[in-house]
Every structure is written in structure tokens, then in C-alpha cells.
Structure 1
Amino acid sequence: MRVVVVGMAYAVVTLPVDTFPVEYRAVRDVPISASVGGSGFTAARTLAALGDEVYLAAPLGEDAEGVAVDVAAYRYGVNSAMCPRSLPRSPRAVVLECDGQRQISRDLGEAPTAHVDLDLGALATSELVIVDGVLPTAALISSAQATGVPVAAALGTVREPPLLEQQPYLAAELLVMSHDGRDEEHLVRTWRRRSAARLVVVTLGERGAVGMVPHSEEVIHVPARHLGGGLRPAGVGATYAATLAHYVFARGCDARGAMEYAATAAAWTIAHPGEPDGLREDVLEAAAARPDEAAQAS
């Protein structure tokens, strides 16, 4: 499946610290790591690992951080040629880690207001467009609809029925959002009733996820999987959404089956935080067939 992912990507510097709050020391000798994160990049990387042909369209600048995104995209088999280089500086983040706690400081600059425009040729040759809930994508969704390309939207945390600025997402064929409240059934029913989506999913963290399809009042509940210990890495929600989209659009799974694969992908990522490109289809499907706490990569 040929997918265009429109979303955030940024360079990340991770710094271990001894305590929170961080104590002042003039000089600290610690291992500092560099990586790339962001919901768009994580979704693109996940889809590439699952075997899709993936193009990333994330707003960047012409600077070292933009080059870091290009290098990481190449490393994971993602084509970053569609990323516009119109920003004065690329987004970036610094992560402080201590005993399982993580503090993320982001400097997104002008990226959240940047419009990503794809030409009709890029859209017409795509089989799916995935957008996140950060960038303004109303025009892009309309263009994809006009060319007959389905759209999947990963909206992040949503606490209410669709707001005015969220109306464009109602045209998407797949809607994925997270929810930290308790009335998730009302939320999923409201979005299902107002949208044209073939599947609406609300993720609930340790409580799993709920979903609804058209022409049915059933609320599908799929519990979370537990495939091993480990800290919950940033981007698990994007991994879930990308896996769900892959199994809905590339593999034609029904709602429950796709949600089960997505739950397995999130759990596998938590259990294998240092192996983001190891989430291949064969690994995921083997993990999905095994009991919790016993699944391991092939």
C-alpha cells in the first residue's frame, strides 16, 4: 500500500538526569542520545516496518534538525522527499529521563500552523493519506476526497464531541483518538453519528479501546495487550493508529480484527522500546496469536 503521512516530525535529544526537579551542576558527563520523534514520523516508521511504501510530509526547515529527520527516515525506509522545507527552523525537542519518568520539552516553532500541500499527482497515486490532529489539514482532506483517496485521521486526545475546528476530520474514513475520561461510550457514539468514517476508535490506555462502525449500535471493546514490561515510550498512540490503518486499508480486516492487531502493536512496542523497525507483519501476527506476557519477536 502506498501511503502519504502528513504530520509532525522533529529531532529529539534525550538526556538522563539524576532527579526531578533537576539539580544544578555546572558540568555533567552523561550519555546523550539523538533520535527523531513526532506523531507523523512514528506513524510513517510503523507503516514502513509493516511493509507499506511510505512518504512523509512533515513541515521542516533547511537546517541540521531537518537533515536529522531525513537521515532517520532513510534509516527506516521512509521517503521524506514530500516534506516541505518552508520553516525558518525545524521543530525540535529535549527529553529528560529519570527512573522511568520522562519530561519532554518541545520547540515546535511555526510548524503547527504550517500548511502541507500535496500536488494532485502525489495524491492520485496514493492509496491512503494519514493526517494527525496537529497540522491544519482541511484543504488536504478535501483534495484527497476529490481524487478518491481515503483519509485516516489520528487526532490525539479528544474530550468532547467534534468542535468547529475538527469538522474537516468528519470526512475521514478512519478516525482514531485517545480519551482520558470515563464516558468513552458517549464520545465514540457521538463521533460515529456525526462522521462518515467506516470506523471510529477511541483508545483508553490500559483499559484498551472502543470502536464503532456504520449501521450498528454495537460498541466494540478490545482490551489492551500485555506482552512484557518496559516504560511506555512516546509515540505509542501513533503506532496504534498506523497499525490500525494498515490492517483496515491494506489487509481489509474487520473492525475488531484490526483493533486487535493495533492493540498488539502498542503492547509489542512497549515491550521492545529499542526495536522500532522490528514490528514487521510476521512478528506482529505471531505476537497476536500468543497469550499475553508470552509473545516475543520471531
Structure 2
Amino acid sequence: MRVVVIGIANQQTSLPVDTFPIEFEPWRNANGQIRHTVGGVGFTVARVLSTFGNMVALASPMGEDYPAALIDAEAYRYNISTHLCRRELVRTPRSLVFYDSQGRRMVNSDMTDAAGFVFDPEDLLPDVSSAQLVVLANLPLVRNLVEPLRDAASVYAIDLHDIRDPQNPKLTPFLSADLINLSNDHLHGKELEVLEYLRENSEAKLLSMTLGADGALILTPDMDQPVHIPVTSVEAVNTVGAGEFYWAVTLQYFVNAGLSAVEAATLGCEAATRMVASPAIHTPTNIDDLRALIVPPDSRTEQPGEFAWSPVEQAHHYDI
């Protein structure tokens, strides 16, 4: 499957802490615990979808600095094309993540001048028009792309993240997406109400809401009510990126493999659970290491696809 992912990629530095709030210490031994890697919603989704063997192109705003070089190197390692990235920023985005053994994390995000960056349709042609799936991972970057995608009848997914009000007029254009994900972080007690509202006011064939340690809710046009997808309780190592992991895996199985919404979301939840419980996620060195976390143990015979944004068409199993 040919995929274009449009979203943030950043340099991510992570450090475990004993507890929140963090107690002051003039010196602390963190030997082997300070890790530099590539994060960001866009890169996380692209990395997972590439791990399944899809041909993935990432469109992300970057600068010409060492974090950009880190992103390029990591993209090469995971077979992600960066030819759609725009290198116009003064500084590439970066983040600093503190996390504890209870699964809590504190993300310090420096978006730099990417906060005002917006992709134009011509930046991404002809790749978007030939993709079988377009994933819009960060709303501010993609507000100019929704109408062209809709007019071209492209299959596209969007992550609304931790919205507070689904009736916010700024969200209305994004409700034309075929596949919509969001978080319940600011919607506790309103989950069912919000999903029903989105079903009535969107064009989505799949609505998904992540619930953190409680799993996810799934709603499709033919369901009577949302279906709860539970997760196994595990000792979380680091929950950063778990929602993006879940969404990317769910998209793979729903769009490309043609599984039902419940089956796809179940596999997505299982993959995210393995991810947050495994320290290996902090130090994977290649696509095979990550694949061991994402793909179920009984499904690891398929090999990842060839590197690069190949013009060769692959089968598209899901017809929206």
C-alpha cells in the first residue's frame, strides 16, 4: 500500500524519573537512561506503517540542522521516504519527555517555527493523488489539504487528538475524513455522546477513540452503539506514542488487510500494549526490531517492503 503521512517529526530526548512532581537534586546518575531518538505524531505513524511493508512517504517541516539529520537517518533505517519534507524551518522541532514507572509522562514540546507552518497541496503532488491512504497527523499543518483531498476522492485518515469540543467550527472541515481518531483526554464522561455526534456529523466509515489504559472505543455507521476494545493490564515502561501506535496499526489492518473495525482495533490495542510494556521500543536499531513489537507473533512471516517511494502499485484491499 502506498501511504503519505503528513505530520510532525522531531528529535525526542527521553529520561525516566522516579516520581511526579520531580524532586530537585543537584546531581542525578542517569547512566544509560538518557535517550535521543525521533518522535512526533507523523514520524511515529509513518514508522509503524512502513514496518508492515507499506511504501511510506513522510511530509514534515524541518530545518537544516542536526535534528533534521537525525530524522533523515532514522527514516532511512525504517524505509521511510523524506522527499516530501520541507526544509524551510530555522530549527527542527524537538521534545523532552519525562516518564515514570506508573505510565505517566510529561512531554515538553518545542515546535519552533513549525507552529506556523502549513502544507499547500502543490507541496505534496503528485504523491498524494497516487497514494492509497493519506494520513493527516497534525491538524495545523494540513488545514489547506482537506478540500483537495475530498475533491480528489482520496482515502484519508485524520487524528483529532485531545479535542475538547467536537462542535468547534474549526474542526468541521476535518469531519469529511474517511477514518477519524481522537482521544478522550478532555472528554471523560462524554465519550459515547461525542462519538454519536461525530457519526451524525461526519462522513467517517470508522470512528475511533483512545481511552488510555482502558483501551479504545470503535463506532462505524452500521453499529448500534460504540464497541469497547479492552486492553490487558501491563506494567508500562513509557506510554509516549502509544495512541499513534494504536492508530497506525488499526489503519493497517482496516484499510490494507480489510479486517473489520473491531478486529483491526483489537490488533491495534494489542500492539500498543506490547509497545508500552517493552523497553525495546527505546532502542530498536532496524525495522525488524520494531516489527517484533507491532506484528502478532503468529503473523511474522511477511517481509517488509523494498526501500523508497516506489512507483510500483500494490493491492488496495479496502474500498471506501
Matches within 5 A, 1:228-247: 228-247=234-253
User: In the alignment, is residue 139 of structure 1 matched against residue 144 of structure 2?
Assistant: yes
Matches within 5 A, 1:40-55: 40-55=42-57
Give TM-score, length-normalised by structure 2: 0.81
Counterpart of 2:175 in 1: which secondary structure?
Answer: helix
Give the direction of change, closer, same or farther, for the CA distance of 1:99–1:178 in structure 2 (3 Å limit): closer
Give the direction of change, closer, same or farther, for the CA distance of 1:187–1:126 in structure 2 (3 Å limit): same
Counterpart of 2:126 in 1: which secondary structure?
Answer: helix
Deviations 1:147-202 (A, max 9, x none): 23211001211232231111121010000011030221101101111000101111
Aligned partners of 1:143, 1:130: CA distance in 2, in Å? Answer: 14
User: In the alignment, is residue 189 of structure 1 matched against residue 192 of structure 2?
Assistant: no
Aligned twin of 2:263: 257
TM-aligned CA deviation for residue 18 of structure 1: 6.6
Aligned partners of 2:24, 2:293: CA distance in 1, in Å? Answer: 42
Question: Given that residues 136 and 159 in structure 2 are in contact (C-alpha distance below 8 angstroms), is that contact kept between their aligned partners in structure 1?
Answer: yes
TM-aligned CA deviation for residue 208 of structure 1: 1.9
Alignment partner of 2:295 out of 277, 284, 288: 284
Identity %: 31
Question: Where in structure 2 are there 5+ consecutive unaligned residues?
Answer: 300-320
Aligned twin of 1:296: none
Aligned partners of 2:75, 2:198: CA distance in 1, in Å? Answer: 33
Give the direction of change, closer, same or farther, for the CA distance of 1:148–1:92 in structure 2 (3 Å limit): same
Aligned partners of 2:290, 2:161: CA distance in 1, in Å? Answer: 22
Aligned twin of 2:70: 68
Aligned twin of 2:8: 8
Give the direction of change, closer, same or farther, for the CA distance of 1:212–1:268 in structure 2 (3 Å limit): same
TM-aligned CA deviation for residue 72 of structure 1: 1.0
Give the direction of change, closer, same or farther, for the CA distance of 1:159–1:126 in structure 2 (3 Å limit): same
Between Structure 1 and Structure 2, how many residues are aligned? Answer: 286
Aligned twin of 2:114: 111
Alignment partner of 1:35 out of 34, 37, 55: 37
Aligned twin of 2:312: none
TM-aligned CA deviation for residue 70 of structure 1: 0.8
Report which stretch shifted further, 109-118 or 279-288: 279-288
Question: Given that residues 177 and 203 in structure 2 are in contact (C-alpha distance below 8 angstroms), is that contact kept between their aligned partners in structure 1?
Answer: yes
Give the direction of change, closer, same or farther, for the CA distance of 1:49–1:230 in structure 2 (3 Å limit): same
Alignment partner of 2:132 out of 127, 135, 145: 127
Give TM-score, length-normalised by structure 1: 0.87
TM-aligned CA deviation for residue 61 of structure 1: 0.8
Question: Given that residues 144 and 151 in structure 1 are in contact (C-alpha distance below 8 angstroms), is that contact kept between their aligned partners in structure 2?
Answer: yes
Matches within 5 A, 1:88-103: 88-97=90-99, 102-103=105-106
TM-aligned CA deviation for residue 66 of structure 1: 1.0
Deviations 1:112-158 (A, max 9, x none): 32112333311122111101244331221222223232110012112
Give the direction of change, closer, same or farther, for the CA distance of 1:141–1:15 in structure 2 (3 Å limit): same
